Structure 1
Amino acid sequence: MVFLHGTSGHLEAFARNIAAHAAYDVHAIDMLGHGYTGKPARPYEIADYVGHLIDYLDAVGVERAHIVGESLGGWVGVRTATTHPDRVASLQLLCAGGTVANPAIMERIRTSTLAAVRSDDIELTRKRLRLLMADPADATDELVEVRHAIYHEPDFVANVHNLLSLQDMERRRRNLLTREELGRITQPTLIIWGRQNPFGEVPEATAMHKHIPGSRLELFDQCGHWPQHEQSERYNRISLDFLTSVSAA
Protein backbone atom coordinates (compact mmCIF):
# COMPACT_ATOMS: atom_id res chain seq x y z
CA MET A 1 0.00 0.00 0.00
CA VAL A 2 1.16 3.51 -0.79
CA PHE A 3 -0.45 6.48 0.95
CA LEU A 4 -0.29 9.82 -0.89
CA HIS A 5 -1.10 13.10 0.89
CA GLY A 6 -2.54 16.42 -0.27
CA THR A 7 -1.16 19.79 -1.34
CA SER A 8 1.40 21.25 1.10
CA GLY A 9 1.03 18.21 3.37
CA HIS A 10 3.19 15.19 3.99
CA LEU A 11 2.86 11.66 5.30
CA GLU A 12 1.52 12.88 8.67
CA ALA A 13 -1.92 12.80 7.04
CA PHE A 14 -1.95 9.02 7.63
CA ALA A 15 -0.69 8.89 11.21
CA ARG A 16 -3.93 7.21 12.34
CA ASN A 17 -3.96 4.63 9.54
CA ILE A 18 -0.55 3.04 9.14
CA ALA A 19 -0.69 0.73 12.17
CA ALA A 20 -4.21 -0.43 11.28
CA HIS A 21 -2.92 -1.61 7.88
CA ALA A 22 0.10 -3.44 9.29
CA ALA A 23 -0.90 -6.65 7.52
CA TYR A 24 0.22 -4.92 4.32
CA ASP A 25 3.60 -3.61 3.23
CA VAL A 26 2.75 0.03 3.94
CA HIS A 27 4.55 3.00 2.41
CA ALA A 28 3.53 6.56 3.30
CA ILE A 29 5.69 8.95 1.32
CA ASP A 30 6.29 12.67 1.09
CA MET A 31 5.51 13.48 -2.53
CA LEU A 32 7.75 15.54 -4.78
CA GLY A 33 8.49 18.96 -3.31
CA HIS A 34 6.70 18.18 -0.04
CA GLY A 35 7.80 17.29 3.47
CA TYR A 36 11.39 16.07 3.50
CA THR A 37 11.48 14.84 -0.12
CA GLY A 38 13.68 16.64 -2.65
CA LYS A 39 12.42 19.91 -4.09
CA PRO A 40 13.41 20.52 -7.72
CA ALA A 41 13.19 24.20 -8.62
CA ARG A 42 10.30 24.06 -11.06
CA PRO A 43 6.49 24.19 -10.91
CA TYR A 44 5.06 20.71 -10.33
CA GLU A 45 2.35 19.24 -12.53
CA ILE A 46 0.58 15.91 -12.13
CA ALA A 47 2.98 14.11 -14.47
CA ASP A 48 5.85 15.15 -12.19
CA TYR A 49 4.16 13.60 -9.16
CA VAL A 50 3.34 10.45 -11.11
CA GLY A 51 6.94 10.17 -12.29
CA HIS A 52 8.17 10.54 -8.72
CA LEU A 53 5.78 7.83 -7.51
CA ILE A 54 6.83 5.39 -10.25
CA ASP A 55 10.51 6.11 -9.56
CA TYR A 56 9.86 5.42 -5.87
CA LEU A 57 8.13 2.11 -6.60
CA ASP A 58 11.04 1.12 -8.84
CA ALA A 59 13.59 2.12 -6.20
CA VAL A 60 11.99 0.00 -3.46
CA GLY A 61 11.21 -2.91 -5.79
CA VAL A 62 7.41 -2.71 -5.75
CA GLU A 63 5.83 -3.89 -8.99
CA ARG A 64 2.20 -3.21 -8.09
CA ALA A 65 0.58 -1.32 -5.23
CA HIS A 66 -2.74 -0.40 -3.69
CA ILE A 67 -2.79 3.41 -3.95
CA VAL A 68 -4.55 5.50 -1.30
CA GLY A 69 -4.65 9.15 -2.31
CA GLU A 70 -6.04 12.03 -0.29
CA SER A 71 -6.80 15.30 -2.13
CA LEU A 72 -3.82 15.91 -4.45
CA GLY A 73 -2.78 12.33 -3.75
CA GLY A 74 -6.03 11.06 -5.23
CA TRP A 75 -5.47 13.13 -8.34
CA VAL A 76 -2.02 11.58 -8.68
CA GLY A 77 -3.44 8.12 -7.99
CA VAL A 78 -6.00 8.38 -10.81
CA ARG A 79 -3.44 9.62 -13.30
CA THR A 80 -1.07 6.81 -12.29
CA ALA A 81 -3.84 4.24 -12.69
CA THR A 82 -4.63 5.42 -16.23
CA THR A 83 -1.05 5.94 -17.45
CA HIS A 84 0.61 3.01 -15.62
CA PRO A 85 -2.29 0.58 -15.07
CA ASP A 86 0.02 -2.36 -14.48
CA ARG A 87 1.47 -0.65 -11.38
CA VAL A 88 -1.85 -0.01 -9.58
CA ALA A 89 -3.78 -2.86 -7.91
CA SER A 90 -6.58 -0.71 -6.49
CA LEU A 91 -7.47 2.92 -5.81
CA GLN A 92 -8.79 4.68 -2.75
CA LEU A 93 -9.75 8.30 -3.45
CA LEU A 94 -10.17 10.31 -0.24
CA CYS A 95 -11.66 13.72 -1.00
CA ALA A 96 -9.66 13.51 -4.21
CA GLY A 97 -8.91 16.62 -6.22
CA GLY A 98 -8.41 17.11 -9.91
CA THR A 99 -11.89 17.09 -11.43
CA VAL A 100 -12.78 20.79 -11.09
CA ALA A 101 -11.09 24.20 -11.05
CA ASN A 102 -12.84 26.40 -8.49
CA PRO A 103 -11.11 29.80 -8.24
CA ALA A 104 -12.34 30.51 -4.70
CA ILE A 105 -11.08 27.19 -3.35
CA MET A 106 -7.79 27.50 -5.23
CA GLU A 107 -7.25 30.95 -3.69
CA ARG A 108 -8.13 29.62 -0.22
CA ILE A 109 -5.49 26.89 -0.55
CA ARG A 110 -2.89 29.34 -1.83
CA THR A 111 -3.41 32.13 0.67
CA SER A 112 -3.80 29.94 3.77
CA THR A 113 -0.65 27.99 2.93
CA LEU A 114 1.45 31.06 2.13
CA ALA A 115 0.31 32.79 5.31
CA ALA A 116 1.41 29.81 7.42
CA VAL A 117 4.74 29.39 5.61
CA ARG A 118 5.75 33.05 5.54
CA SER A 119 5.09 33.72 9.22
CA ASP A 120 6.65 32.17 12.30
CA ASP A 121 3.28 32.41 14.07
CA ILE A 122 2.33 28.79 14.79
CA GLU A 123 -1.32 29.83 15.05
CA LEU A 124 -1.36 30.34 11.28
CA THR A 125 -0.24 26.74 10.84
CA ARG A 126 -2.97 25.67 13.25
CA LYS A 127 -5.49 27.70 11.21
CA ARG A 128 -4.29 26.02 8.00
CA LEU A 129 -4.79 22.55 9.49
CA ARG A 130 -8.13 23.39 11.08
CA LEU A 131 -9.35 24.41 7.64
CA LEU A 132 -9.21 20.71 6.75
CA MET A 133 -11.29 19.45 9.66
CA ALA A 134 -14.99 19.52 10.51
CA ASP A 135 -13.98 19.41 14.20
CA PRO A 136 -11.06 21.76 15.00
CA ALA A 137 -9.97 19.40 17.78
CA ASP A 138 -8.73 16.97 15.10
CA ALA A 139 -5.95 19.45 14.30
CA THR A 140 -3.98 18.22 17.30
CA ASP A 141 -1.03 20.04 18.84
CA GLU A 142 1.25 17.29 17.55
CA LEU A 143 0.04 17.73 13.96
CA VAL A 144 0.44 21.48 14.21
CA GLU A 145 3.97 21.28 15.60
CA VAL A 146 5.13 18.77 13.00
CA ARG A 147 3.59 20.74 10.12
CA HIS A 148 4.96 24.05 11.47
CA ALA A 149 8.49 22.62 11.60
CA ILE A 150 8.29 21.44 7.98
CA TYR A 151 6.72 24.69 6.79
CA HIS A 152 9.74 26.55 8.13
CA GLU A 153 12.49 24.40 6.68
CA PRO A 154 14.47 26.78 4.42
CA ASP A 155 14.07 24.62 1.31
CA PHE A 156 10.32 24.33 1.88
CA VAL A 157 9.96 28.10 2.21
CA ALA A 158 12.00 28.66 -0.95
CA ASN A 159 9.97 26.10 -2.90
CA VAL A 160 6.42 26.70 -1.69
CA HIS A 161 5.33 28.50 -4.88
CA ASN A 162 6.26 25.39 -6.91
CA LEU A 163 4.07 23.02 -4.89
CA LEU A 164 1.22 25.52 -5.13
CA SER A 165 1.54 25.72 -8.90
CA LEU A 166 -1.66 23.75 -9.54
CA GLN A 167 -3.59 26.62 -7.95
CA ASP A 168 -2.78 28.56 -11.13
CA MET A 169 -5.86 28.33 -13.35
CA GLU A 170 -4.15 27.69 -16.68
CA ARG A 171 -1.84 25.03 -15.25
CA ARG A 172 -4.65 23.39 -13.30
CA ARG A 173 -6.95 23.17 -16.30
CA ARG A 174 -4.41 21.37 -18.44
CA ASN A 175 -3.91 18.79 -15.67
CA LEU A 176 -7.57 18.13 -14.83
CA LEU A 177 -9.04 14.63 -14.90
CA THR A 178 -11.71 14.24 -17.55
CA ARG A 179 -14.81 12.06 -17.58
CA GLU A 180 -13.17 10.00 -20.29
CA GLU A 181 -10.06 9.42 -18.17
CA LEU A 182 -12.14 8.41 -15.16
CA GLY A 183 -13.98 6.00 -17.42
CA ARG A 184 -10.70 4.29 -18.33
CA ILE A 185 -10.00 3.25 -14.74
CA THR A 186 -10.12 -0.54 -14.56
CA GLN A 187 -8.86 -1.02 -11.01
CA PRO A 188 -11.28 -1.54 -8.08
CA THR A 189 -11.95 1.96 -6.72
CA LEU A 190 -13.23 3.19 -3.36
CA ILE A 191 -14.25 6.85 -3.05
CA ILE A 192 -14.59 8.40 0.41
CA TRP A 193 -15.81 11.95 0.93
CA GLY A 194 -16.62 14.18 3.89
CA ARG A 195 -19.92 16.02 3.66
CA GLN A 196 -18.28 19.10 5.22
CA ASN A 197 -15.27 18.98 2.89
CA PRO A 198 -14.19 22.65 2.52
CA PHE A 199 -12.29 21.98 -0.70
CA GLY A 200 -14.93 20.11 -2.68
CA GLU A 201 -18.66 19.56 -2.55
CA VAL A 202 -20.43 16.19 -2.55
CA PRO A 203 -21.43 16.44 -6.25
CA GLU A 204 -17.74 16.09 -7.12
CA ALA A 205 -17.69 12.75 -5.34
CA THR A 206 -20.92 11.53 -6.90
CA ALA A 207 -19.65 12.53 -10.35
CA MET A 208 -16.44 10.54 -9.82
CA HIS A 209 -18.51 7.59 -8.67
CA LYS A 210 -20.72 7.88 -11.75
CA HIS A 211 -17.84 7.94 -14.20
CA ILE A 212 -15.47 5.37 -12.64
CA PRO A 213 -16.78 1.92 -13.62
CA GLY A 214 -17.76 -0.26 -10.66
CA SER A 215 -16.59 2.25 -8.06
CA ARG A 216 -17.91 2.37 -4.50
CA LEU A 217 -18.80 5.65 -2.74
CA GLU A 218 -18.88 6.25 1.02
CA LEU A 219 -20.01 9.65 2.38
CA PHE A 220 -18.96 10.55 5.92
CA ASP A 221 -21.18 12.88 7.98
CA GLN A 222 -19.53 15.47 10.24
CA CYS A 223 -16.31 15.12 8.28
CA GLY A 224 -14.13 17.56 6.37
CA HIS A 225 -11.18 17.00 4.04
CA TRP A 226 -9.31 14.30 6.00
CA PRO A 227 -11.75 11.38 6.44
CA GLN A 228 -8.89 8.94 7.10
CA HIS A 229 -7.87 11.08 10.10
CA GLU A 230 -11.11 12.63 11.32
CA GLN A 231 -12.96 9.29 11.38
CA SER A 232 -10.00 6.95 11.37
CA GLU A 233 -11.69 3.92 12.94
CA ARG A 234 -14.50 3.96 10.40
CA TYR A 235 -12.12 4.63 7.52
CA ASN A 236 -9.69 1.88 8.58
CA ARG A 237 -12.51 -0.66 8.79
CA ILE A 238 -13.90 0.25 5.38
CA SER A 239 -10.43 0.30 3.81
CA LEU A 240 -9.50 -3.13 5.15
CA ASP A 241 -12.83 -4.61 4.02
CA PHE A 242 -12.27 -3.10 0.56
CA LEU A 243 -8.75 -4.49 0.33
CA THR A 244 -9.98 -7.92 1.38
CA SER A 245 -12.60 -7.85 -1.35
CA VAL A 246 -9.96 -6.82 -3.91
CA SER A 247 -7.73 -9.71 -2.89
CA ALA A 248 -10.61 -12.16 -3.07
CA ALA A 249 -11.71 -11.08 -6.54
Structure 2
Amino acid sequence: MTNDLAATIWTELAGTDFAMTTVDAGGVPTRSLQAGTGEEHVIFLHGTSGHLEAFARNLPAHAERYRCHAIDMLGHGFTGKPDLPYEIPRYRDHLLAYLDAQGIERAHLVGESLGGWVSARLAIDDPSRVASIQLLCAGGTVANPEVMERIRTSTRRAVESDDPEPTRRRMRLLMADPADATEELVAVRHLIYHRPDFVANLHNLLCLQDLETRLRNILRPEDLAEITVPTLIVWGRDNPFGEVPEATAMHAHIPGSELVLLDHCGHWPQHEAADRYNPLSLAFLAKHPVG
Protein backbone atom coordinates (compact mmCIF):
# COMPACT_ATOMS: atom_id res chain seq x y z
CA MET A 1 0.00 0.00 0.00
CA THR A 2 1.25 3.50 -0.82
CA ASN A 3 1.81 5.68 2.25
CA ASP A 4 -0.71 8.39 3.11
CA LEU A 5 1.51 11.27 1.95
CA ALA A 6 1.64 9.84 -1.58
CA ALA A 7 -1.84 8.35 -1.80
CA THR A 8 -3.42 10.66 -4.34
CA ILE A 9 -3.99 10.12 -8.03
CA TRP A 10 -1.94 13.18 -8.88
CA THR A 11 1.08 12.18 -6.81
CA GLU A 12 0.93 8.62 -8.16
CA LEU A 13 1.13 9.99 -11.72
CA ALA A 14 3.58 12.81 -10.96
CA GLY A 15 6.71 12.49 -13.05
CA THR A 16 4.95 10.45 -15.75
CA ASP A 17 4.07 12.03 -19.08
CA PHE A 18 0.45 11.20 -19.81
CA ALA A 19 -2.53 12.48 -21.76
CA MET A 20 -6.20 12.33 -20.84
CA THR A 21 -8.20 12.25 -24.04
CA THR A 22 -11.49 11.14 -25.57
CA VAL A 23 -11.37 8.50 -28.30
CA ASP A 24 -14.23 7.81 -30.70
CA ALA A 25 -14.63 4.04 -30.30
CA GLY A 26 -17.27 2.95 -32.77
CA GLY A 27 -19.28 6.10 -32.14
CA VAL A 28 -18.90 5.93 -28.34
CA PRO A 29 -16.83 8.79 -26.85
CA THR A 30 -14.38 6.93 -24.62
CA ARG A 31 -12.26 8.52 -21.90
CA SER A 32 -8.69 7.27 -22.07
CA LEU A 33 -5.58 7.98 -20.02
CA GLN A 34 -2.54 7.21 -22.16
CA ALA A 35 1.06 7.03 -21.02
CA GLY A 36 4.35 5.61 -22.28
CA THR A 37 5.88 5.33 -25.73
CA GLY A 38 6.69 1.63 -26.01
CA GLU A 39 5.83 -0.38 -29.11
CA GLU A 40 3.62 -2.84 -27.21
CA HIS A 41 0.22 -1.73 -25.95
CA VAL A 42 -1.30 -2.58 -22.56
CA ILE A 43 -5.01 -1.88 -22.02
CA PHE A 44 -6.24 -1.54 -18.41
CA LEU A 45 -9.93 -2.34 -17.79
CA HIS A 46 -11.71 -1.63 -14.49
CA GLY A 47 -14.64 -3.32 -12.73
CA THR A 48 -18.39 -2.78 -12.45
CA SER A 49 -19.28 0.90 -11.87
CA GLY A 50 -15.56 1.69 -11.87
CA HIS A 51 -13.32 4.06 -13.81
CA LEU A 52 -9.75 4.37 -15.05
CA GLU A 53 -8.43 5.91 -11.81
CA ALA A 54 -8.32 2.35 -10.48
CA PHE A 55 -4.93 2.02 -12.19
CA ALA A 56 -3.23 5.22 -11.03
CA ARG A 57 -0.73 3.19 -8.99
CA ASN A 58 0.20 1.01 -11.97
CA LEU A 59 0.57 3.32 -14.94
CA PRO A 60 3.93 4.93 -14.08
CA ALA A 61 5.74 1.60 -13.68
CA HIS A 62 4.20 0.11 -16.81
CA ALA A 63 4.66 3.26 -18.91
CA GLU A 64 8.44 2.97 -18.57
CA ARG A 65 8.29 0.03 -20.99
CA TYR A 66 4.85 -0.03 -22.62
CA ARG A 67 2.28 2.18 -24.31
CA CYS A 68 -0.47 2.16 -21.69
CA HIS A 69 -4.18 2.87 -22.06
CA ALA A 70 -6.50 2.98 -19.04
CA ILE A 71 -10.03 3.49 -20.29
CA ASP A 72 -13.50 4.05 -18.90
CA MET A 73 -15.43 1.09 -20.27
CA LEU A 74 -18.76 1.28 -22.09
CA GLY A 75 -21.39 2.99 -19.92
CA HIS A 76 -18.85 3.81 -17.18
CA GLY A 77 -17.04 6.88 -15.91
CA PHE A 78 -16.99 9.66 -18.50
CA THR A 79 -17.40 7.30 -21.46
CA GLY A 80 -20.61 7.37 -23.52
CA LYS A 81 -23.66 5.58 -22.18
CA PRO A 82 -25.99 4.33 -24.92
CA ASP A 83 -29.37 3.25 -23.61
CA LEU A 84 -29.05 -0.52 -23.90
CA PRO A 85 -28.12 -3.36 -21.53
CA TYR A 86 -24.36 -3.59 -21.07
CA GLU A 87 -23.82 -7.30 -21.58
CA ILE A 88 -20.41 -8.84 -22.18
CA PRO A 89 -20.53 -8.93 -26.01
CA ARG A 90 -21.20 -5.17 -26.02
CA TYR A 91 -18.21 -4.52 -23.74
CA ARG A 92 -16.11 -6.75 -26.00
CA ASP A 93 -17.20 -4.91 -29.13
CA HIS A 94 -16.52 -1.54 -27.52
CA LEU A 95 -13.02 -2.70 -26.59
CA LEU A 96 -12.42 -3.90 -30.15
CA ALA A 97 -13.66 -0.55 -31.47
CA TYR A 98 -11.18 1.21 -29.17
CA LEU A 99 -8.32 -0.96 -30.43
CA ASP A 100 -9.33 -0.22 -34.03
CA ALA A 101 -9.60 3.51 -33.36
CA GLN A 102 -6.07 3.52 -31.91
CA GLY A 103 -4.66 1.37 -34.70
CA ILE A 104 -3.73 -1.43 -32.29
CA GLU A 105 -3.59 -4.83 -33.94
CA ARG A 106 -2.73 -6.81 -30.79
CA ALA A 107 -2.62 -5.77 -27.15
CA HIS A 108 -1.99 -7.06 -23.66
CA LEU A 109 -5.18 -6.82 -21.56
CA VAL A 110 -5.18 -6.18 -17.81
CA GLY A 111 -8.71 -6.63 -16.49
CA GLU A 112 -9.91 -6.19 -12.93
CA SER A 113 -13.27 -7.78 -12.00
CA LEU A 114 -15.63 -6.96 -14.91
CA GLY A 115 -12.58 -5.95 -16.93
CA GLY A 116 -11.18 -9.47 -16.51
CA TRP A 117 -14.46 -10.96 -17.67
CA VAL A 118 -14.34 -8.86 -20.84
CA SER A 119 -10.64 -9.62 -21.38
CA ALA A 120 -11.27 -13.36 -21.16
CA ARG A 121 -14.24 -13.11 -23.53
CA LEU A 122 -12.15 -11.30 -26.16
CA ALA A 123 -9.32 -13.80 -25.76
CA ILE A 124 -11.80 -16.58 -26.49
CA ASP A 125 -13.61 -14.88 -29.37
CA ASP A 126 -10.71 -13.19 -31.15
CA PRO A 127 -7.31 -14.32 -29.82
CA SER A 128 -5.55 -12.72 -32.79
CA ARG A 129 -6.13 -9.32 -31.11
CA VAL A 130 -4.82 -10.40 -27.69
CA ALA A 131 -1.17 -10.87 -26.73
CA SER A 132 -1.86 -11.83 -23.10
CA ILE A 133 -4.46 -11.37 -20.39
CA GLN A 134 -4.24 -10.62 -16.70
CA LEU A 135 -7.33 -11.54 -14.69
CA LEU A 136 -7.33 -9.53 -11.47
CA CYS A 137 -10.11 -10.84 -9.23
CA ALA A 138 -11.94 -11.42 -12.50
CA GLY A 139 -15.69 -11.89 -12.54
CA GLY A 140 -17.85 -13.93 -14.83
CA THR A 141 -17.27 -17.54 -13.84
CA VAL A 142 -19.90 -17.90 -11.11
CA ALA A 143 -23.37 -16.54 -10.38
CA ASN A 144 -23.57 -15.97 -6.63
CA PRO A 145 -26.92 -14.31 -5.79
CA GLU A 146 -25.60 -12.97 -2.48
CA VAL A 147 -22.61 -11.26 -4.10
CA MET A 148 -24.74 -9.97 -6.98
CA GLU A 149 -27.23 -8.46 -4.53
CA ARG A 150 -24.38 -6.85 -2.55
CA ILE A 151 -23.07 -5.19 -5.71
CA ARG A 152 -26.52 -4.09 -6.86
CA THR A 153 -27.66 -2.76 -3.48
CA SER A 154 -24.45 -0.97 -2.50
CA THR A 155 -24.16 0.70 -5.90
CA ARG A 156 -27.80 1.84 -6.01
CA ARG A 157 -27.59 3.17 -2.47
CA ALA A 158 -24.51 5.24 -3.36
CA VAL A 159 -26.06 6.58 -6.57
CA GLU A 160 -29.35 7.51 -4.94
CA SER A 161 -27.83 9.42 -2.01
CA ASP A 162 -26.32 12.89 -2.17
CA ASP A 163 -24.37 12.00 0.96
CA PRO A 164 -20.88 10.72 0.00
CA GLU A 165 -20.91 8.19 2.86
CA PRO A 166 -22.65 5.39 0.86
CA THR A 167 -20.06 5.89 -1.90
CA ARG A 168 -17.33 5.71 0.72
CA ARG A 169 -18.79 2.44 2.03
CA ARG A 170 -19.07 1.10 -1.55
CA MET A 171 -15.36 1.80 -2.11
CA ARG A 172 -14.30 0.39 1.24
CA LEU A 173 -16.18 -2.79 0.43
CA LEU A 174 -13.57 -3.45 -2.25
CA MET A 175 -10.52 -3.16 0.00
CA ALA A 176 -9.01 -5.34 2.70
CA ASP A 177 -7.70 -2.13 4.32
CA PRO A 178 -10.28 0.71 4.27
CA ALA A 179 -7.42 3.22 4.03
CA ASP A 180 -6.89 2.13 0.42
CA ALA A 181 -10.29 3.64 -0.42
CA THR A 182 -8.75 7.11 -0.40
CA GLU A 183 -10.95 10.16 -0.08
CA GLU A 184 -9.83 11.22 -3.54
CA LEU A 185 -11.08 7.96 -5.05
CA VAL A 186 -14.33 8.36 -3.13
CA ALA A 187 -14.72 11.90 -4.51
CA VAL A 188 -14.13 10.76 -8.09
CA ARG A 189 -16.57 7.86 -7.72
CA HIS A 190 -19.19 10.11 -6.08
CA LEU A 191 -18.90 12.61 -8.95
CA ILE A 192 -19.37 9.89 -11.55
CA TYR A 193 -22.26 8.27 -9.70
CA HIS A 194 -24.17 11.54 -9.74
CA ARG A 195 -23.73 12.47 -13.38
CA PRO A 196 -27.20 12.50 -15.04
CA ASP A 197 -26.16 10.06 -17.78
CA PHE A 198 -24.83 7.60 -15.19
CA VAL A 199 -27.99 7.77 -13.11
CA ALA A 200 -30.20 7.33 -16.19
CA ASN A 201 -28.32 4.22 -17.31
CA LEU A 202 -27.68 2.56 -13.97
CA HIS A 203 -30.13 -0.24 -14.82
CA ASN A 204 -28.12 -0.97 -17.97
CA LEU A 205 -24.85 -1.03 -16.04
CA LEU A 206 -26.21 -3.39 -13.37
CA CYS A 207 -27.88 -5.83 -15.77
CA LEU A 208 -25.19 -8.47 -15.17
CA GLN A 209 -26.31 -8.64 -11.54
CA ASP A 210 -29.60 -10.11 -12.77
CA LEU A 211 -29.36 -13.91 -12.57
CA GLU A 212 -30.87 -14.69 -15.97
CA THR A 213 -28.70 -12.10 -17.72
CA ARG A 214 -25.57 -13.22 -15.88
CA LEU A 215 -26.09 -16.86 -16.80
CA ARG A 216 -26.48 -15.85 -20.44
CA ASN A 217 -23.02 -14.21 -20.29
CA ILE A 218 -21.17 -16.47 -17.86
CA LEU A 219 -17.81 -18.04 -18.67
CA ARG A 220 -18.17 -21.78 -18.25
CA PRO A 221 -15.27 -24.24 -17.85
CA GLU A 222 -15.46 -25.16 -21.52
CA ASP A 223 -15.16 -21.46 -22.42
CA LEU A 224 -12.10 -20.99 -20.22
CA ALA A 225 -10.52 -24.07 -21.79
CA GLU A 226 -10.57 -22.23 -25.14
CA ILE A 227 -8.22 -19.49 -23.88
CA THR A 228 -4.90 -20.00 -25.63
CA VAL A 229 -3.14 -16.71 -24.89
CA PRO A 230 -0.76 -16.40 -21.89
CA THR A 231 -2.85 -15.80 -18.76
CA LEU A 232 -1.95 -14.51 -15.32
CA ILE A 233 -4.58 -14.77 -12.57
CA VAL A 234 -4.07 -12.51 -9.54
CA TRP A 235 -6.40 -12.85 -6.56
CA GLY A 236 -6.70 -11.27 -3.14
CA ARG A 237 -7.20 -13.76 -0.32
CA ASP A 238 -9.63 -11.26 1.27
CA ASN A 239 -11.62 -10.64 -1.92
CA PRO A 240 -15.22 -9.90 -0.81
CA PHE A 241 -16.67 -10.66 -4.25
CA GLY A 242 -15.03 -14.03 -4.91
CA GLU A 243 -13.39 -16.65 -2.74
CA VAL A 244 -10.06 -18.33 -3.50
CA PRO A 245 -11.67 -21.54 -4.91
CA GLU A 246 -13.08 -19.36 -7.71
CA ALA A 247 -9.53 -18.38 -8.65
CA THR A 248 -8.14 -21.91 -8.39
CA ALA A 249 -10.94 -23.25 -10.58
CA MET A 250 -10.19 -20.57 -13.18
CA HIS A 251 -6.53 -21.56 -13.06
CA ALA A 252 -7.42 -25.24 -13.48
CA HIS A 253 -9.54 -24.61 -16.56
CA ILE A 254 -7.27 -22.15 -18.44
CA PRO A 255 -4.42 -24.12 -20.04
CA GLY A 256 -0.96 -22.95 -18.96
CA SER A 257 -2.27 -20.15 -16.76
CA GLU A 258 -0.36 -18.78 -13.78
CA LEU A 259 -2.02 -18.08 -10.43
CA VAL A 260 -0.81 -15.72 -7.70
CA LEU A 261 -2.69 -15.30 -4.41
CA LEU A 262 -1.98 -12.14 -2.42
CA ASP A 263 -2.35 -11.99 1.35
CA HIS A 264 -4.02 -9.00 3.02
CA CYS A 265 -5.64 -7.99 -0.26
CA GLY A 266 -9.25 -7.56 -1.37
CA HIS A 267 -10.83 -6.94 -4.77
CA TRP A 268 -8.35 -4.38 -6.17
CA PRO A 269 -4.96 -6.17 -6.09
CA GLN A 270 -3.43 -3.73 -8.59
CA HIS A 271 -4.21 -0.87 -6.21
CA GLU A 272 -4.06 -2.40 -2.74
CA ALA A 273 -0.86 -4.35 -3.42
CA ALA A 274 0.72 -2.22 -6.13
CA ASP A 275 4.21 -2.76 -4.73
CA ARG A 276 3.74 -6.52 -5.18
CA TYR A 277 1.57 -6.47 -8.29
CA ASN A 278 3.60 -4.15 -10.54
CA PRO A 279 6.82 -6.25 -10.61
CA LEU A 280 4.69 -9.38 -11.06
CA SER A 281 2.84 -7.87 -14.02
CA LEU A 282 5.96 -6.50 -15.67
CA ALA A 283 7.75 -9.84 -15.39
CA PHE A 284 4.75 -11.60 -16.93
CA LEU A 285 4.52 -9.11 -19.79
CA ALA A 286 8.24 -9.40 -20.50
CA LYS A 287 7.87 -13.19 -20.86
CA HIS A 288 5.13 -12.79 -23.46
CA PRO A 289 6.03 -10.08 -25.97
CA VAL A 290 3.73 -9.30 -28.87
CA GLY A 291 4.85 -11.59 -31.67
With normalisation by structure 1, the TM-score equals: 0.99
1:43: how far off? Answer: 1.0
Give CA-to-partner distance per residue, 1:206-243, whole Å, 9 cap, x none.
Answer: 00000100000000001000000000011001000101
Distance 1:248 1:178 in 2: 27
Aligned length: 249
Distance 2:119 2:170 in 1: 24
Q: Are 1:11 and 2:52 matched, yes or no?
A: yes
Moved over 6 A (4+): none
The code of the aligned residue for 2:62 comes to H
Distance 2:57 2:201 in 1: 28
Find 1:103's aligned residue among 122, 130, 145: 145
The code of the aligned residue for 2:112 comes to E
Q: Are 1:67 and 2:106 matched, yes or no?
A: no
Q: Which structure has more RCO (C-alpha within 8 Å, separation ≥ 6)?
A: 1
Distance 1:113 1:43 in 2: 17
With normalisation by structure 2, the TM-score equals: 0.85
Give CA-to-partner distance per residue, 1:192-218, whole Å, 9 cap, x none.
Answer: 000000000000000000010000000
2:18 alignment partner in structure 1: none
1:144 alignment partner in structure 2: 186
Q: Are 1:238 and 2:285 matched, yes or no?
A: no
For the aligned residues, what is the CA RMSD?
0.9
Gaps of 5+ in 2: 1-41
1:146: how far off? Answer: 0.7
1:116: how far off? Answer: 0.4
Gaps of 5+ in 1: none
Distance 1:43 1:101 in 2: 18
Find 2:131's aligned residue among 57, 80, 89: 89
Give CA-to-partner distance per residue, 1:40-77, whole Å, 9 cap, x none.
Answer: 11111100000000000000110000000000000000
The code of the aligned residue for 2:60 comes to A
SS in 2 for 1:31: coil
Find 2:162's aligned residue among 120, 125, 144: 120
Distance 2:290 2:283 in 1: 11
Higher strand share: 2
1:29 alignment partner in structure 2: 71
The code of the aligned residue for 2:219 comes to L
SS in 2 for 1:191: strand
Distance 1:19 1:77 in 2: 22
Distance 1:160 1:12 in 2: 20
Percentage identity across paired residues of the two chains: 71
Find 1:194's aligned residue among 236, 241, 249: 236
Q: Is the 8 A contact 2:92 2:121 kept in 1?
A: yes
Change in Cα spacing, 1:248 to 1:86, as seen in structure 2 (3 Å) is closer
